[in-house]
Amino acid sequence: MNIGIDMMGGDFAPLEAVKGIGLYLSGHNIPAELTLIGNKNQLESLLAEHNISLDHITITHSEEIIGMHEHPTKALKEKQKSSISIGFHLLNTGKMDAFISAGNTGAMLVGALFTIKALDGVIRPTISSIIPKAEGGTGLLLDVGLNADCKPEQLNQFAIMGSVYAKYILGINNPKVGLINVGEEEGKGNLLAQATYPLLKANKHINFIGNIEGRDVLLDKADVMVCEGFTGNIILKLAESLYEISNEKKVKEAYFERFNFENYGGTPVLGVAKPVIIGHGISGAKAFMNMIHLAQLMLEKDLMTKMKEELA
Amino acid sequence: MNIGIDMMGGDFAPLEAVKGIGLYLSGHNIPAELTLIGNKNQLESLLAEHNISLDHITITHSEEIIGMHEHPTKALKEKQKSSISIGFHLLNTGKMDAFISAGNTGAMLVGALFTIKALDGVIRPTISSIIPKAEGGTGLLLDVGLNADCKPEQLNQFAIMGSVYAKYILGINNPKVGLINVGEEEGKGNLLAQATYPLLKANKHINFIGNIEGRDVLLDKADVMVCEGFTGNIILKLAESLYEISNEKKVKEAYFERFNFENYGGTPVLGVAKPVIIGHGISGAKAFMNMIHLAQLMLEKDLMTKMKEELA
């Protein structure tokens, strides 16, 4: 198992990535092999400085960096020697099994969609987010912004992919799937939600519990919460702001602390053929460690095959 | 000025409505005339019991009540002697100038849309909600559920109606209008948001500041926040749940207390020809008092005429 890491992506690159790798390696008896893509000299000296053994590490040199605000498609085309471009090349040619970056989100998405491609039958891949639940558990919200306009069939696929992820990665047995909507009864909602409900109801691959409302998002009602990427993105960013607001107001409440999305490492692109994990720009060492753990778990559980089976 | 109140609507009717009227009358030197619609005997004894003078009060007897869970259209048709049906009749015939109810929301909406009708040129009326801002101010979110699917032209009208309301009722000078979206730049968003942006940008009746994201909803960025009713409803109910969750977790923070939407009295239907205000089912005395104040302010400011002028 070989996990690739873009060492040059993110606001604190490459230092925090190096520290995250240190945390990861020191916590594992049998770690995965890691491919570090970045400036070789800089990485070698940082690794030495942090006393990180090179036993499980290969460094692949990259000369260019795609900046956080560059145009994704243009940058990927013009900067073939960038860490992100090289990463997708290595992933696509089987030199690596997963790819992690806290760099340019758009470039990571374009790379995932156009270099790695979707799993057979997937209309469009999706990105999800962990949503901390007030009762203590963890839910999954998807899509959170990759697909601002959706067809009912896409939401139906999100429900399947989200369920597989919730089961194997979040460890939720028979995850409850809820359709985000403006009312509880069947027949409520906008045209999309109305058309999606019967598909979810008839879907034998998921445990559909019906519509859930805005007030249920932070509660234990559903584990997998499905909507198009417009609503999902608004929900996610509103939830993220709760952490900042409670910090600002010095509210000491563990629940709101859990809205610090740095804790969660990153979000995988679901529905592509290989694990691609996108971190926040502000990812610190812990986030990098968590992303490597997540990639490893996705590979160990053979998540992509499981998704393919359920989507068939 | 004559303000009508459905005394039989809401979970605590008619007691809390009576108490709310008491609060209102004792706080005003020159109160509006009030038309109380409900069971005459019951109201007379409750008013006497609470030492409320009948100087500014007319009681109109109603024999029937539309239950909170009855089918709106059916109930309005079959229960012509209900307090809601009588209320709309009195409003429509000019016997009252505004109508308030904490009863069946659907019946109130159907009555507002089909008895009172929309202002000239309004494609569809809308309902809004106050959103407390973390910095202390107050924003207006619309639509919050009446129009789950919208056209760009509707969102453009919501922006105008919301701006007029924010200016004259919330007292916000030159209110900033934001389009709720998944990114800040023009061109971002789903098809609806993409098509709405240029309309808002070209609209000389509003102070459009561009897109706002989920993270801006609780912050001071925009005063009037515009979206279709699907997203708006999810945002509103998520916000409402913050009050319950912080209560549950015993978080003592004044900001989260402000998410107790009972404080705000009720929401007016915007875009109809006369003030119609819909309260929460759980409305208490304070909520009723606030709804009467709101109706009075809407009449004093001649809000409907102002809206008509801006929409022209």
**pLDDT tens, residue by residue, B205-218:** 999 999 999 999 99
pLDDT band at A108 (very low <50, low <70, confident <90, very high): very high
Q: Does B218 touch chain A (CB under 8 A)?
A: yes
Same fold for the pair B1-122+271-301 and B123-260:
yes
For B56-98, how does the pLDDT look when each residue is reduced to its tens digit (9 = 90+)?
Answer: 999 999 999 999 999 999 999 999 999 999 999 999 999 999 9
Flag if A145 and B255 touch (Cβ within 8 Å): no
For B125-170, how does the pLDDT look when each residue is reduced to its tens digit (9 = 90+)?
Answer: 999 999 999 999 999 999 999 999 999 999 999 999 999 999 999 9
The structure's pTM equals: 0.94
Contacts of A246 in chain B (CB under 8 A): 253
pLDDT for position A284: 92
pLDDT band at B252 (very low <50, low <70, confident <90, very high): confident
Q: Is the pLDDT of residue B265 over 90?
A: no
Q: Which of A189, A245, A253 sits opposite B249 (nearest CB)?
A: A253
Q: Which of B145, B246, B249 sits opposite A182 (nearest CB)?
A: B145
CATH number given to A123-260? 3.40.718.10
pLDDT band at A260 (very low <50, low <70, confident <90, very high): confident
Reported ipTM exceeds the 0.90 cut: yes
| Residue of A105, A143, A182, A218 to mutate, interface with B, max B Cβ within 10 Å | A182
Q: Is the pLDDT of residue A142 over 90?
A: yes
pLDDT band at A282 (very low <50, low <70, confident <90, very high): confident
Every domain of chain B and the residues it spans: 1-122+271-301, 123-260
Please report how the helices B303-311 and B152-168 are oriented relative to each other, as an axis angle in degrees rounded to 10.
Answer: 140
pLDDT for position A132: 95
DSSP chain B: -EEEEETT-STTTTHHHHHHHHHHHHT-SSPPEEEEEE-HHHHHHHHHHTT---TTEEEEE--B---TTS-HHHHHHH-TTBHHHHHHHHHHTTS-SEEEE-S-HHHHHHHIIIII-BPTT-SS-EEEEEEE-TTS-EEEEE-SSS-SS--HHHHHHHHHHHHHHHHHTS--SS-EEEEE-SSSSTT-SSHHHHHHHHHHHH-TTSEEEEEE-GGGTTSSS-SEEE--HHHHHHHHHHHHHHHHHHHHTT---HHHHTT-GGGG-EEEEETBSS-EEEE-TT--HHHHHHHHHHHHHHHHTTHHHHHHHHH-
Architecture of domain A1-120+271-302: 3-Layer(aba) Sandwich (3.40)
Q: Is the pLDDT of residue A196 over 90?
A: yes
Q: Which of A145, A215, A240 sits opposite B240 (nearest CB)?
A: A215
Contacts of B217 in chain A (CB under 8 A): 234, 238, 241
pLDDT band at B29 (very low <50, low <70, confident <90, very high): confident
pLDDT for position B155: 98
As a whole-number percent, the residues of chain B with pLDDT over 70 amount to 100
Flag if A233 and B214 touch (Cβ within 8 Å): yes
As a whole-number percent, the residues of chain A with pLDDT over 90 amount to 93
Q: Does A191 touch chain B (CB under 8 A)?
A: yes
Flag if B240 and A182 touch (Cβ within 8 Å): no
pLDDT for position B282: 87
Flag if A234 and B180 touch (Cβ within 8 Å): yes
Q: Is the pLDDT of residue B261 over 80?
A: no
Q: Which CATH class is domain B1-122+271-301?
A: alpha beta
Lowest mean pLDDT among A191-200, B13-22, B27-36: B27-36
Question: Which three-class secondary structure state does DSSP give residue A51?
Answer: coil
**Span B5-14, mean pLDDT?**
95
pLDDT for position A263: 76
The residues facing B227 across adjacent strands are: none
What residues of chain B, 267 to 286, have a C-beta less than 8 Å from chain A?
Answer: none
